[in-house]
């Protein structure tokens, strides 16, 4: 199981260092703090919208996941700053990750 | 450590021309050598090429094209910040005694691959620079209560100043209304808020103190160098309404030059998008947080050219690998009082701010007569 194979299946997992327990983002094979091996943590993760803008009909948001790291994700409804969201859809298309939140 | 000065420069017009990268490098170097006959090209012992182009071995290719065999020749890539990174590398070679005369040549094509950082998957599908610029703009407006019209003044000012620069891509002035009515890119960005990726080249010669007097009567000394990398990924920026890397690099460069920010008479700042100019001015320390747009408005209304006299990236265009070198050439010309109808009155000290990928990294140079 790798991060990208999980993403390809639409499953968002968080890479965590098996040695120091730090969450490692962006996903890599080894921890960027202690170089320990990474395992993947499954869960129902929460995010918080910290900024957003809109292109055409879609909002794009800066989202902080579990008060730890950030991703940019698409949202169809107008977000609010500090709104709590969850990743509703994710995957890899043409080599690019994509995330949708609601 | 040896002192290092800028001895000569050459530049091409910035355009949308479809030219080979090798030709662009050659053109600005030819311009430099033809305008500086005191430079004996065989005395150039190092050639550094700044570009995001994927072509290989460009520095040896440029060296062969101009008929020299330097000791050191290689390329440097660091996205939009490549130009000043190359100048810092040239400075380091000379200061360390490994070289005496370094040619730094930057070039880019309008279709540069450096516009997109594919690695940064945290941005999801939003990898184009317009998306980080929109997040910056939204955050800056929200934090400081700034309007789109106030930010549009950056574009108005820089297009206006570019009309005094024959190499600039912009050939037209715009009003705030023009900027506001230009094509909507996102809710926070209009087309005229954006610099254009373009084709262009810029070259510069750096030399050691013991050589410089043979080449020029007007050396411009690099007295301060500051650099800082926060991250590669945009989402790792601590703030989206300030430029942390720029602030740190600026403090480092001013400290090295034994200068205070009020000593700076003229500056080139990296206005890739409208919001970047006030954010850069604030990070450098020329304005308080949230007051950069006020300074931009005052400069425009008083016809004070001290920030981005050549028109900035918005007015000139942004050929990534050449931009930092073109900015440095502008400050050199200003300090030599050779900037013609865009000359700032009698400047003694200037500053260059060049950054990459939403200020995830920045370089600051302090230049002096």
DSSP collapsed to 3 states, B132-160: HHHHHHHHHHHHHCCCHHHHHHHHHHHHH
Q: Count structural domains, chain A.
A: 2
What is the dihedral angle through the alpha carbons of B49, B54, B57, B61, rounded to the nearest 10 degrees? -70
Domain containing B211 equals: 4-114+198-215
Contacts of A53 in chain B (CB under 8 A): 131, 134-135, 137-138, 186-189
Average pLDDT over residues B65-74: 98
User: What is the number of CB-based contacts under 8 A between chain A and chain B?
Assistant: 71
Model ipTM over 0.90: yes
pLDDT digits (tens, 9 = 90+) for B165-178: 999 999 999 999 99
Q: What are phi and psi of B120, to 5 degrees?
A: -80, 70
B178 lies in a domain?
no
B18 lies in a domain?
yes
The model carries a pTM of 0.97
The pLDDT > 90 percentage for chain B reads 100
- pLDDT attached to residue B236: 95
In this complex, is the C-beta atom of A12 within 8 Å of any C-beta atom belonging to chain B?
A: no
Asked if B118's CB is within 8 angstroms of A51's CB, the reply is: no
B91 lies in a domain?
yes
pLDDT digits (tens, 9 = 90+) for B134-187: 999 999 999 999 999 999 999 999 999 999 999 999 999 999 999 999 999 999
Residue B228 near residue B22, CB atoms below 8 Å: no
Please state, in angstroms and as integers, the Cα–Cα distance from residue B283 to each residue in B254, B261, B292, following that order: 13, 11, 10
* In the block, residue with structure tokens 């290689």: B74
Asked if B126's CB is within 8 angstroms of A72's CB, the reply is: yes
Q: Count structural domains, chain B.
A: 1
Residue B69 predicted with pLDDT over 90: yes
Asked if B125's CB is within 8 angstroms of A54's CB, the reply is: no
Residue A55 near residue B185, CB atoms below 8 Å: yes
Do A26 and A49 belong together in one domain? Answer: no
In this complex, is the C-beta atom of A69 within 8 Å of any C-beta atom belonging to chain B?
A: yes
> A70 to chain B: nearest residue by CA?
B235
Asked if A26's CB is within 8 angstroms of B124's CB, the reply is: no
Asked if A72's CB is within 8 angstroms of B123's CB, the reply is: yes
B313 lies in a domain?
no
Q: Which residues in chain B belong to E strands, given as ranges? A: 4-11, 46-50, 72-76, 101-108, 184-186, 189-190, 200-208, 220-229, 266-268, 349-356, 361-368
Residue B223 predicted with pLDDT over 90: yes
Asked if B124's CB is within 8 angstroms of A72's CB, the reply is: yes
* In the block, residue with structure tokens 């020299």: B68
- pLDDT attached to residue B306: 98
Q: Kindly report the CATH number assigned to the domain that includes residue B205.
A: 3.40.47.10
Furthest CA-CA distance within chain A: 44
Asked if A71's CB is within 8 angstroms of B125's CB, the reply is: no
Q: What's the DSSP call for residue B261?
A: G
Residue B204 predicted with pLDDT over 90: yes
Residue B332 predicted with pLDDT over 90: yes
Do A11 and A50 belong together in one domain? Answer: no
Residue of B131, B185, B235 lying closest to A60 (CB–CB)? B131
- Which tokens belong to A9? 């299946």
To probe the interface with B, which of A8, A62, A64, A93 has the most B CB atoms within 10 Å?
Answer: A62
Burial label for B225, CB within 10 Å (0-12, 13-18, 19+), is: buried
Do A63 and A99 belong together in one domain? Answer: yes
pLDDT digits (tens, 9 = 90+) for B248-295: 999 999 999 999 999 999 999 999 999 999 999 999 999 999 999 999
- Which tokens belong to B27? 């053109």
B264 lies in a domain?
no
Contacts of A51 in chain B (CB under 8 A): 135, 138-139, 142, 240
> What is the nearest CA distance from B194 to chain A, expressed in angstroms?
15
In this complex, is the C-beta atom of B137 within 8 Å of any C-beta atom belonging to chain A?
A: yes
B205 lies in a domain?
yes
d(CA A90, CA A92): 7
Residue of B122, B187, B240 lying closest to A54 (CB–CB)? B187
Which neighbouring-strand residues pair with A4? none
Q: What angle do CA B321, B274, B250 make, to 5 degrees?
A: 60
Domain containing A68 equals: 44-102
Do A67 and A95 belong together in one domain? Answer: yes
**Closest by Cα among A73, A53, A75, A58 to B189:** A53
Average pLDDT over residues B8-24: 98
pLDDT digits (tens, 9 = 90+) for A8-59: 999 999 999 999 999 999 999 999 999 999 999 999 999 999 999 999 999 9
Average pLDDT, whole number, for chain B? 97
Do A92 and A51 belong together in one domain? Answer: yes
DSSP collapsed to 3 states, A49-90: EEEEEEECCEEEEEEEECCCEEEEEEECCCCCCCCEEEEEEE
CA A84, B238, B139, B181 torsion-angle sign: negative
Task: Give A1's pLDDT tier (boundaries 50, 70, 90).
Answer: confident
Task: Give B304's pLDDT tier (boundaries 50, 70, 90).
Answer: very high
In this complex, is the C-beta atom of B144 within 8 Å of any C-beta atom belonging to chain A?
A: no
Q: What are phi and psi of B216, to 5 degrees?
A: -150, 150
Q: Kindly report the CATH number assigned to the domain that includes residue A87.
A: 2.40.50
């Amino acid at each position: 199981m790798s991060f990208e194979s999980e993403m390809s299946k639409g499953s968002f997992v968080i890479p965590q260092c098996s040695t120091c327990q730090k969450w490692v983002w962006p996903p890599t094979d080894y921890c960027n703090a202690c170089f320990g091996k990474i395992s993947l943590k499954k869960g129902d993760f929460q995010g918080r919208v910290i900024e957003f803008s809109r292109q055409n009909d879609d909002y794009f948001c800066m989202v902080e996941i579990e008060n730890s790291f950030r991703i940019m994700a698409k949202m169809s409804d107008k977000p609010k700053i500090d709104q709590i969201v969850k990743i509703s859809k994710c995957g890899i298309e043409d080599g690019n990750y994509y995330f949708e939140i609601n | 450590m040896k002192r290092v000065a800028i001895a000569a420069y050459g530049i091409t017009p910035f355009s949308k021309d479809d030219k080979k990268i090798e030709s662009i490098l050659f053109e600005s170097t030819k311009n430099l050598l033809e305008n500086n006959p005191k430079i004996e090209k065989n005395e150039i012992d190092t050639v550094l090429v700044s570009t995001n182009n994927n072509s290989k071995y460009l520095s040896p290719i440029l060296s062969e094209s101009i008929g020299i065999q330097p000791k050191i020749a290689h390329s440097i890539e660091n996205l939009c910040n490549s130009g000043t990174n190359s100048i810092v590398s040239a400075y380091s070679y000379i200061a360390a005694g490994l070289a005496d005369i370094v040619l730094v040549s930057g070039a880019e094509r309008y279709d540069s691959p450096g516009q997109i950082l594919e690695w940064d998957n945290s941005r999801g599908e939003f990898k184009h620079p317009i998306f980080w610029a929109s997040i910056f703009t939204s955050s800056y407006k929200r934090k400081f209560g700034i309007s789109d019209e106030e930010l549009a003044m950056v574009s108005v000012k820089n297009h206006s100043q570019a009309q005094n620069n024959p190499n600039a891509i912009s050939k037209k002035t715009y009003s705030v209304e023009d900027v506001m009515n230009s094509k909507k890119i996102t809710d926070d960005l209009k087309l005229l808020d954006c610099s254009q990726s373009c084709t262009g080249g810029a070259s510069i010669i750096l030399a050691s103190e013991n050589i410089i007097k043979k080449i020029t009567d007007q050396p411009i000394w690099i007295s301060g160098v500051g650099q800082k990398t926060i991250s590669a990924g945009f989402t790792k920026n601590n703030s989206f309404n300030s430029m942390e890397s720029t602030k740190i690099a600026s403090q480092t460069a001013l400290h090295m030059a034994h200068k205070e920010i009020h000593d700076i008479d003229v500056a080139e700042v990296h206005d890739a998008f409208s919001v970047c100019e006030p954010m850069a001015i604030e990070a450098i320390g020329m304005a308080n947080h949230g007051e950069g747009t006020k300074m931009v408005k005052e400069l425009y209304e008083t016809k004070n050219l001290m920030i981005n006299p050549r028109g900035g990236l918005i007015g000139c265009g942004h050929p990534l690998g050449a931009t930092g070198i073109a900015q440095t050439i502008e400050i050199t010309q200003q300090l030599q009082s050779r900037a013609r109808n865009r000359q700032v009155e009698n400047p003694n000290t200037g500053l260059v701010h060049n950054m990459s990928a939403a200020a995830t990294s920045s370089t600051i140079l302090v230049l002096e007569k």
